[in-house]
């Protein structure tokens, strides 16, 4: 699986990548029928101005279609969990 991250600040990048690793392992087990070279996962983090929420967006591109999910949470890790739960 090809993974790309965008718009993630240095302060939250480590926490986001650590939380994503666990969920990516699970996705790899679920998507083992697909060739890993054609599966793409794009992750991005959005800070919501004037709110204490972080939004995390996922786009999973497969040969048969695309799945998109967005998770909102108090912090980046919560947003990651919500978005991956929607994809899974």
Quote the pLDDT of residue 68.
96
pLDDT digits (tens, 9 = 90+) for 75-86: 888 889 999 999
pLDDT digits (tens, 9 = 90+) for 28-54: 999 999 998 999 999 998 877 777 788
Cα–Cα nearest to 80, from 12, 20, 29: 20
pTM comes to 0.84
The answer to whether the CB of 55 falls within 8 A of the CB of 71 is: yes
Q: How far apart are the first and last CA of the chain?
A: 15
Quote the pLDDT of residue 9.
77
The angle subtended at Cα 13 by Cα 35 and Cα 8, nearest 5°, is: 85
């Amino acid at each position: 699986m090809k993974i790309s991250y965008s718009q993630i600040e240095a302060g939250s990048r480590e926490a986001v990548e650590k939380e994503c690793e666990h969920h990516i392992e699970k996705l790899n087990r679920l998507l083992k029928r697909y060739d890993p070279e054609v599966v793409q996962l794009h992750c991005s983090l959005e800070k919501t101005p004037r709110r204490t929420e972080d939004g995390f967006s996922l786009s999973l591109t497969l040969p048969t279609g695309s799945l998109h999910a967005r998770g909102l949470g108090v912090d980046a890790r919560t947003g990651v969990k919500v978005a991956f739960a929607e994809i899974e």
